[in-house]
Structure 1
């Protein structure tokens, strides 16, 4: 606590300086490791050892000098009160963990507002105080949480050692003495940089929900299409949506209505994201078919590349298989145009990729998956798989017979040539990924869409089902300054 939430580290140093001066010992910066973040008894014994004075009397003097300064000179550190208030509002249980005695801690609690803390642990409450893990273990027990689900916000090496020994994630905000950033530890310069969202990102993976959606002529076949599109996106809880058939300004209009970020490429492709877009990939003037990508930065600092693709629709393999009876070899041979389009997208993904950044490729491929047809090695999805991209829907639903996941088409029941033949239903829209963990994936259609051509009043404003996948995203590497992740499930200071 000392120096983390309130500027008591300076007050403690001044108190020790005062007592040491009275004993004829002038302190220097080299003495800080014997003073900062340590119990009063330790510093008293150290001073006694170098001055010959009694440690018990020194401890009494230190308590008196420090308590006087706390009562008269306590100042919250910048960002402390704002952060504590946000944690309370968001229901994050918070503990105060300090090497100071109870009398001093209670003075600080009164200054900060005791209502901000569910628990407080002082030097008087455990047999061993910092740097031993006991104080943080006691706080976690009192909060009823696993130490691995907690973030300790500390300002000294002693406090950091205590929290890390207890198994907590650590966010260090040094006060007087510097603290090194090492793997598993985040170091910031001020509490003003800390938010509950940053803290949560430090404990366990965060979730990212990605959606692929062909808007069908921008949605214009359905009345009030923009409002219906917004309703669908909001109800899915999607974080990033890869769009096809945007027909110009759809990505921009949807993003502006949602208060999101957007990227447009050509007249047909776009990506919208609730998270900031930090880079844009691919050809911004891509034609009607092709791919485009963005890099988004999540709250915890982790970045993810998300690409949206739309591949040519002719010749269409399921028609050739079901209507024309072509054998597998001919079906595969006819995929040449789409295969080259996919290879170009994969080439651009490789050019823009970095090792630490996961990749998601979504889109309307206008081709089935080799994972769904036992007798046809459809080459488009096979090429993506060979490039290291995994099919999130098939990871979540491995059996294509029990859960086919058809995305084409919720409104085309009969083939549109007027023959009355049933329209082949298939899975041609995908959310592929590399470097993430699939938590859930589903093909989504809301309501009961009426079949073509009576579609104007449909609640579902597309002729494709959407695909929505929820991923677990690994935490950013705290040793990389560009990817600092900070957050908490429960917080200890």
Structure 2
């Protein structure tokens, strides 16, 4: 465990996937635009922003509402899932500095979890492109009863790692994900590509991903708990 002087130990690091560690949002841009076209319309920029960090069914519903289309939400969600899986299978790049952050945490012996709203079929496409064992546990959006912004996914990850959520740091990039991690009791570090999109932090500490270090995470946790 790593801790700054006088602070609680950093028991685990919990990472969101899309937009936080991996530059997958452009792939979602494509699949969402394709879904809108399949439904006979074009997705607005505002609706694209609304669905960031959301679960698949809600995303399909919001897209249909935006287009004014009446269609089966489950069918639209299934179509979107398969189209996104096809794109993920072609390769999902790391965000700059993201891999080094995860690897530095692991070198310190701190347990890691991937906590995502994406379905397992998408997550498995990403994991297949990584070194085995990079994450000690993975919690997917279709493996919880209540997806983000509910705290269940983060609470589940902490429980699996036998960590106190209050001594865990969660890295996120969306308002929904931040709300979920905060509700679970975690210290939340927001690392959005567009810092202005989370200017007030929504309760998280906003920092550039390339400046994240284990010592900085431990210090932020110590400052909160000290």
Q: Which sections of structure 2, spanning at least 5 residues, go unmatched?
A: 1-16
Is 1:128 aligned to residue 146 of structure 2? yes
Which residue of structure 2 lines up, in the alignment, with residue 174 of structure 1? 192
Which residue of structure 1 lines up, in the alignment, with residue 3 of structure 2? none
Is 1:72 aligned to residue 90 of structure 2? yes
Residues of 2 paired with 1:156 and 1:28: CA distance?
19
Judged with a 3 Å threshold, the aligned counterparts in structure 2 of structure 1 residues 65 and 175 are, in CA distance, closer, same or farther, namely farther
List per-residue Cα deviations over 1:27-67 (Å, max 9, x = no partner).
23211343211111111122233311211111111011111
Which residue of structure 2 lines up, in the alignment, with residue 43 of structure 1? 59
Is 1:19 aligned to residue 35 of structure 2? yes
Judged with a 3 Å threshold, the aligned counterparts in structure 2 of structure 1 residues 123 and 183 are, in CA distance, closer, same or farther, namely closer
Would the aligned equivalents of 1:151 and 1:199 in 2 still touch at CA under 8 Å? yes
Residues of 2 paired with 1:174 and 1:35: CA distance?
15
Judged with a 3 Å threshold, the aligned counterparts in structure 2 of structure 1 residues 76 and 33 are, in CA distance, closer, same or farther, namely same
Which residue of structure 1 lines up, in the alignment, with residue 159 of structure 2? 141
Residues of 2 paired with 1:54 and 1:118: CA distance?
37
Cα shift at 1:157 = 0.9
**How many residues are aligned here?**
207
List per-residue Cα deviations over 1:406-458 (Å, max 9, x = no partner).
xxxxxxxxxxxxxxxxxxxxxxxxxxxxxxxxxxxxxxxxxxxxxxxxxxxxx
Which residue of structure 2 lines up, in the alignment, with residue 186 of structure 1? 205
Is 1:163 aligned to residue 181 of structure 2? yes
| 1:7 counterpart (7, 20, 23) | 23
Q: Which sections of structure 1, spanning at least 5 residues, go unmatched?
A: 207-472, 475-493
Matches within 5 A, 1:214-363: none
Moved over 3 A (4+): 181-184
Would the aligned equivalents of 1:9 and 1:175 in 2 still touch at CA under 8 Å? no
Mark the structure with the bigger radius of gyration: 1
Which residue of structure 1 lines up, in the alignment, with residue 10 of structure 2? none
TM-score where L is the length of structure 2 = 0.85
- Whose strand fraction is larger, Structure 1's or Structure 2's? 1
Residues of 2 paired with 1:72 and 1:112: CA distance?
13
Would the aligned equivalents of 1:13 and 1:36 in 2 still touch at CA under 8 Å? no
Residues of 2 paired with 1:142 and 1:30: CA distance?
37
Which residue of structure 2 lines up, in the alignment, with residue 99 of structure 1? 117
Cα shift at 1:106 = 1.5
Higher relative contact order (CA 8 A, sep 6+): 2
SS in 2 for 1:204: helix
Residues of 1 paired with 2:151 and 2:26: CA distance?
24
Cα shift at 1:88 = 1.1
SS in 2 for 1:112: coil
CA-atom RMSD in angstroms: 2.0
SS in 2 for 1:120: strand
Identify the range of structure 1 (166-175 vs 126-135) with the bigger mean alpha-carbon deviation. Answer: 166-175
Would the aligned equivalents of 1:12 and 1:66 in 2 still touch at CA under 8 Å? yes
SS in 2 for 1:151: strand
SS in 2 for 1:124: helix
Cα shift at 1:182 = 4.4
